[in-house]
Structure 1
């Protein structure tokens, strides 16, 4: 019997069409042959250009992903300029006197909150029951709290760190927490204020997405909001966790390829495409509990299994969203909220 897990150790969705996976695997082999040749031609030089942008959108082959992420974000530069800082922060965070002083807004020790969340991270992947994985996650999250005390720890960061650890894991199984730490720092810098105590931009961006969905697929927007439930109720987690637990893991990493290169506007294009992709299912829903269940079970949806096709359609089916356009929408919504 063939093992029912993906290449990163995540369980397949229940009742998943296994033939779909084997068809995708065959396509992946053929696609990788072409992509690897194109990435080989760059000789490890990942200078921003239209050529690189197009390649990133096609997807970064697994063997190149970490180096490219480090190069196109601030992570690689920060890691080189701050050698030893992560180990120093991780050591400090394990000191009882230090970690007892790191508290959240309610006064609870942040390290206690982190430890609780570790066991809830990716239950569908057995590696997240292993002490080495959990210890590395704890070190990264606690070190981040010391490095960015203005943000501290936010529930959802545990999933991002877990995903980064899996994505950067070496072929022999070695975990590289220092790279994950600096990639986490880079991601948070790419994002608006989603993870601080105030989360000032999170609700605002949910309102912006609401406007974009209403403009792009008005009937689907009407179907979703028919029961009087705000869109924020369902999509907040998309932004906080960067689509972790919404997309298959290999598709998630393809989204993150473009996120590292093009910035947070990508989150809106992926989110809008989710509504385009599922408009038929959303049209059939006739009660709020079904709506809530639909959004909860998106992670197990096989529609996004082919990451190449999924990302191709993200860019084909959604309109260009320039940074200035998104910033204008944010400012407009922020001004309306203040009034």
Structure 2
């Protein structure tokens, strides 16, 4: 071992925020004071359940953004055809979810479709708004949190015509798989699995066919690091399940990737493993 090696300085361990520290941060209310490394570690490790609502509202600036009467005005101008589509999709997507107030969720999506006329309403939005509603519970604040995700995180570009951002994200995931998991990539190509088949995981922010708890934990990370949590988590899941994937063929592989992969990984691994860099 060289003298240089013997004096190698290890990076300092980054600790998550304690409940007491979170309470102080929320009380002060200045988001620029965050240590980004500690924020990331905190979201990955898990934030206090009793503070999650206020932490999400703090990160999305929803209380500050909530302009008086805007939400109610948007709700007073519904498009009947859009409202029918939303109601049909919600009853099909959340047929038995007792935790969600479907009327509130419908209102939020109607309001957003009026707020952002270019995007309007698209399938998948219900999952995103639904996860926000599970935690925040208050309709108007959920709406402004959704606006933050769509604009500040540029998630509206996922739903725009020609889906420019979705195509970019799928291309990035494909490149990562091709470079890091060549056997998985070859199997997917051989069996005709196209990346577009994984679109639902992006348009729903990994809330498609998963347990509520996992969808909430993904949203924790999404509010912190954005789209990379989806790309990195899917890549990690494919790596963890590589041996199984290489044995599957045809529709069994399609169904596994689309319906089972995420929920199975959540049941078998700790979320810190799934959120690994």
Give the TM-score band, short-chain normalised. Answer: 0.7 to 0.9
Q: CA shift at 1:246, angstroms? A: 4.4
- Match of 1:314? 275
- Match of 2:189? 225
Q: CA distance change for structure 1 residues 68 and 54 in 2, over 3 Å: closer, same or farther? A: same
- Match of 1:212? 176
Structure 2 gaps of 5+ residues are 1-16
Structure 1 gaps of 5+ residues are 1-33, 94-98, 101-108, 170-175, 319-339
On the 8 A contact 2:108/2:129 being kept in 1, the answer is yes
On the 8 A contact 2:193/2:254 being kept in 1, the answer is no
SS in 1 for 2:76: helix
Superposed CA deviations along residues 61-108 of structure 1, whole A, max 9, x for unmatched, are 2211121112122433312xx122112211232xxxxx24xxxxxxxx
On the 8 A contact 1:251/1:304 being kept in 2, the answer is yes
What is the 5 A alignment of 1:60-209?
A: 60-79=47-66, 82-93=67-78, 99-100=79-80, 109-128=81-100, 133-169=101-137, 176-189=138-151, 190-192=153-155, 193-209=157-173
Return the alpha-carbon distance in structure 1 between the equivalents of residues 27 and 40 of structure 2: 15
Q: CA distance change for structure 1 residues 311 and 121 in 2, over 3 Å: closer, same or farther? A: same
Q: TM (normalized to structure 2)?
A: 0.82
Q: TM (normalized to structure 1)?
A: 0.68
Q: CA shift at 1:152, angstroms? A: 0.2
Return the alpha-carbon distance in structure 2 between the equivalents of residues 151 and 284 of structure 1: 40
Return the alpha-carbon distance in structure 2 between the equivalents of residues 138 and 160 of structure 1: 12
Q: CA shift at 1:196, angstroms? A: 2.2
Superposition RMSD in Å: 2.4
- Match of 1:48? 34
Q: CA shift at 1:244, angstroms? A: 0.8
The count of aligned residue pairs is 255
Superposed CA deviations along residues 268-310 of structure 1, whole A, max 9, x for unmatched, are 112211211221220110x221111102332773431377x22
Return the alpha-carbon distance in structure 2 between the equivalents of residues 211 and 300 of structure 1: 20
What is the 5 A alignment of 1:287-326?
A: 287-298=249-260, 301-305=263-267, 309-315=270-276, 318=277
Q: CA distance change for structure 1 residues 166 and 299 in 2, over 3 Å: closer, same or farther? A: farther
